[in-house]
Amino acid sequence: MYLERFTSDLYLEKQPDVQHYGMLYDNLQAQALNPDDTRDLIRGVVESCVATRHHC
């Protein structure tokens, strides 16, 4: 497992560490919106900001 961070990088090779990050990735992927829903969400936020003249 390779982790790229702001100030350094980290390689993880131990199975428990790799499994932990693999589970985190799977969980994030399961909760993510599909591309169409992501686009709709972003469009809605932008339209809301424009309509209320907020600088988002």
**Segment 43-56, tens digit of pLDDT:** 999 999 888 886 66
Is this structure's pTM higher than 0.85? no
**Segment 4-44, tens digit of pLDDT:** 999 999 999 999 999 999 999 999 999 999 999 999 999 99
CA distance 10 to 18: 12
Collect all residues with Cβ–Cβ distance below 8 Å to 22 and sequence separation of at least 6: 1
CA distance 19 to 24: 9
What is the reported pLDDT for 55? 66
